Amino acid sequence: MTAVLSSAAGGATLEGGYAVVVSRTTAGDPGWRQVADTLVEKHRGSLVQWGGSVEESLPVLRKAFPRYACFVATPGEATREFVARVHRLSRALDDDPYPDLLWGIVTGYDAGAALRIARTAEPLVVRKAAGGTDFGLEWCEEGVWYSESVKNRMMRKERGGAPEELKGPDDTTAALVETLTGYRADMFVTSGHATERDWQIGYTYGNGRFRCEQGLLYGVDMRGARYPVVSPNPKVYLAVGNCLMGHIDRPDCMALAWMNGAGVDQMIGYTVDTWYGYAGWGCLDYFVRQPGRFTLAEAFLANQAALVHRLRTFFPDAVGGGEGRPAPGAAAEAAGLTDRDAEGLLYDRDAVAFYGDPAWEARMAPMKAAWEQALAHEGGVWTLTITPGRAGDSLETPGGRPFFQFLPHRIADVRMIEGTEFLPVITDDFVLVLAPPRRTRGGRIVVRFTAGRAG
């Protein structure tokens, strides 16, 4: 048996082509056309132009069926509505309800800022992590976070050590700015109250803020002292729980300031007020708690697929639509889900933006995960094996999310051989497998199937 792709600590580049999608108006601007042309040249991609609406690109995308699609958009185009339309477009290339490609929106405070992102080519290995909310430092080589909910609480992990709880300052504004400017974090994570113009650092207690001005980011503490954020090192930003941090309503907004003034090359963020949180925090689960397994773009798609799967499994009447509040069926009630869960999943489904080149590789530094995944292929038979990472460990996933495995190329004509009890979903480019029920966790999972190469 020949292994073709392992998801234990990084995977091979996924086959399938790259499309750059841009409006004819934006393509007609020399500065923005350079952004699009740079991405086409970098990835040997194709250019797709649209006129009245981005949906006009769908027939070309369906025919080409690329693995990646990058939507180049000016700040005036990259609206909340545009993000939602791209989400829906990404699920419309074939008949299943799942995302069909890895996508991102390349935009910027101006064309020059977008061009910097488009030109970024060197892969990023996230070794230093920082943030203003708690997240799993045990999955990071090193890092620090300051609590948004408990005053003075902070956690630090030195390289080679274990996370250690320490006492932080009353006002963490300067300390958080320092994680970007001096510590030079590769990843920044936030949650809590925010608007398009600021991030309010404390969620349950008084603290400072991050604000934006003319495409730049700065902190201002409770005394009014100002701390410029000058942080050009490449990084990713996961605004997993903030309201509106991903909403671009004008050039002078937080999302564009993070990308323009703080070295952010890829970012996820809500374009709306957030309350349910599945689409944001789940991306963190796939990216951080499975270190090195996925790029950030892959983690984003994996979590979107998990969200759609949850809707499809427990609220099937909701999958095809975007409105309504369907009542839970028997399966949902047995899982403890309510109509509020259906409403939350629908609310989140098209609400989180992914900014950046989707084929740019940003991964956590590889570490031994809670479970191992291996995909092998021989004689037309694919075998996905999932085993506990250490003796005695159970196969328990963060948030009960499914196991997720990309395929190295698109497939067709799937026929199951083994593993139907895990209710796998096998699309043309990924496999999604349910975690075993709590009472049967442990052992290993084997899913085996035959399939031909698509196209």
pLDDT in tens, the chain (455 residues): 332 333 333 333 567 799 999 999 999 999 999 999 999 999 999 999 999 999 999 999 999 999 999 999 999 999 999 999 999 999 999 999 999 999 999 999 999 999 999 999 999 999 999 999 999 999 999 999 999 999 999 999 999 999 999 999 999 999 999 999 999 999 999 999 999 999 999 999 999 999 999 999 999 999 999 999 999 999 999 999 999 999 999 999 999 999 999 999 999 999 999 999 999 999 999 999 999 999 999 999 999 999 999 999 888 876 654 445 566 777 777 778 888 899 999 999 999 999 999 999 999 999 988 889 999 999 889 999 999 876 556 677 877 899 999 999 999 999 999 999 889 999 999 999 987 765 445 578 999 999 999 87
Q: How many residues does the chain have?
A: 455
Tokens standing for 53? Answer: 């609406």
Print burial letters for 91-123: b (CB count within 10 Å at least 16), e (below 16): bebeeebbbbbbbbbbbbbbbebbbbbbebeee
Tokens standing for 345? Answer: 């999943």
CB under 8 Å to 331, separation ≥6 — which residues?
A: 313, 314
pLDDT score of 366: 95
Helices (H) and strands (E) in the chain, counts: 11, 26
pLDDT score of 94: 95
In degrees, rounded to 5, the angle at the alpha carbon of residue 93 between the alpha carbons of residues 33 and 56 is: 45
pLDDT score of 395: 73
Tokens standing for 451? Answer: 């399939």
In the chain the domains, ranked by start, together with CATH numbers, are 124-288 (no CATH), 370-453 (2.60.40)
Q: How far apart are CA 213 and CA 197, in angstroms?
A: 8
pTM for the structure as a whole: 0.94
Q: How far apart are CA 424 and CA 402, in angstroms?
A: 9
Q: What is the DSSP letter of 436?
A: P
Q: Helix 278-288 crosses helix 296-314 at what angle (to 10 degrees)?
A: 130
DSSP secondary structure of 68-107: EEEEE--TTT--HHHHHHHHHHHT-SSSSSS--SEEEEE-
Q: How far apart are CA 247 and CA 353, in angstroms?
A: 8
E-assigned strands of 245-367?
Answer: 264-270, 352-355, 362-364
